[in-house]
Chain A
Amino acid sequence: MSSLAAVTASNLRKDLRLEWRSKDAVNAMLFFALLVVVIFSFAFDPTAEESRQIAGGLVWVAFLFAAIVALNQAWMRELRNQVLDAYRVSPAPANALFLGKALGNFLFICAVEALLMPLFVVFYNLRSVGPAWQLVPVFLLGTWALVVVGTFFAAISLHTRSREVMLPLILFPISIPALLGMVEATTMVLTGIETPAFWISLLVVYDVVFTTVCLLLFETVLHAE
């Protein structure tokens, strides 16, 4: 019987390879998030202080919408040629597919964030008053929160007729606590007014709870007709 770690690694390698060749998700995310950055920079002309106040919200709204594009794409690959059926008839653990997919999405979205953050800094003249290194755990935890729930709900919406519309409809409400944590923690680091410890803890709890729930339920989702 295949081990969870080996099959997860195999799924991750396969997703990275497919994305490297098609660049469907990363290109779509990049253009979408870039458009949001540029349009918002035209719409607002904030001072440096105002930028620090609103940047947390702007950044995460841009990444949230961009992530939806990637999440929808991720499972579409499994529907073409009904490849998912080949996985379903195999003895490979269902969670290995979920973890491989979630880790792949996490890497794609992190790559887009790394590419776009310098643009945010330039367009909004951002200078962090608080310790900027704290943004690293906030972004990692926040991105995982979006990815783990998003990958799960994208799998659920696979067999619905309007899956592109369905995913944000079910994902956004359940992501509100995480989104609140990401925005508040980012704003606190940028403004340096308070420590973001509470919001980072909230993100940790959210990630642990939802990763566990998704892993427990994914087998049912995978084998649902």
Chain B
Amino acid sequence: MYAIFGDNGAGKSTLLRVICGLARPTAGTIHIFGSRERSDFTARLGYMGHAPLLYDEMTGMENLRYFAGLYGIGDNARCQQAIVAVGLDPALTRHVGEYSQGMRQRLSLARAAIHDPEILLLDEPFSNLDPGSARAMGRLVAEMRDRSKTILVVTHQAAHLADIADESLWMAAGRIAAWERGITAADRAAASAVLS
């Protein structure tokens, strides 16, 4: 798992968007699984954006069934497993627009991982979450890492990844300014300073 830090505007979210094909690089090329062709690897990537990327007027299960269908997954049981895995109730009839921020973030993570991708790109998964929900999100991300997934997490909240991130990257002006193993106390302090 890679934790990506940096000031606002450093290019963290842009990096994730370029990797998953939502933005084009102004220079250079991206090779994923040895290929530059987006169609070769798009089904092997999962992307959780800053926005939830969910339909407010549909229930959690309806959202998951729709997005699973985009990956050729018509298995209802798999959607139920995915929703249970993030701690939500598949029978919940409330529309996503009525969910709390924490529930939306967890459902968004379930949507990003519904097709069991090898690489997960998570953009600010802890933003706007209360401490309890953020810890729960941290546990979910850790579980995914333990299932041998490569995870890139953009965040300002280093503390939530302190025990689970393998590498940390600092970005500045669109470039990687520093790269180190784990997350140090200095990283946490600096990331908190950016947040504040």
Chain A residues in the interface with B (C-beta under 8 A) = 1-3, 6-7, 10, 14, 17-18, 21-22, 77, 80-83, 85-92, 223, 225
A86 and B52 CA atoms in complex are apart in Å by 9
B69 close to A18 (CB less than 8 A)? no
Chain A interface main SS type: helix
On whether A2 and B49 interact (CB within 8 A), knowing A18-B58, A77-B55, A85-B22, the answer reads no
A80 close to B56 (CB less than 8 A)? yes
Q: How far is the CB of B39 from chain A (nearest CB, A)?
A: 7
* Residues from chain B with Cβ under 8 Å of A18 in the complex: 55, 57-58
On whether A89 and B21 interact (CB within 8 A), knowing A14-B55, A77-B55, A80-B56, the answer reads yes
- Size category of the binding interface on chain B: 20 to 34
| Closest Cβ neighbor of B121 among chain A residues | A89
B42 close to A89 (CB less than 8 A)? yes
A to B contact number (C-beta, < 8 Å): 81
* Residues from chain A with Cβ under 8 Å of B55 in the complex: 14, 18, 77, 80-81, 83
A14 and B54 CA atoms in complex are apart in Å by 12
* Residues from chain B with Cβ under 8 Å of A7 in the complex: 69-70
| Closest Cβ neighbor of A223 among chain B residues | B21
* Residues from chain B with Cβ under 8 Å of A225 in the complex: 22-24
B127-147 interface mask toward A, CB cutoff 8 Å, 1 = contact, 0 = none? 000000000000000000000
B57-92 interface mask toward A, CB cutoff 8 Å, 1 = contact, 0 = none? 110001000110111101000000000000000000
Q: Which B1-59 residues sit within 8 Å CB-CB of chain A?
A: 20-24, 39, 42-43, 45, 47, 49, 51-58
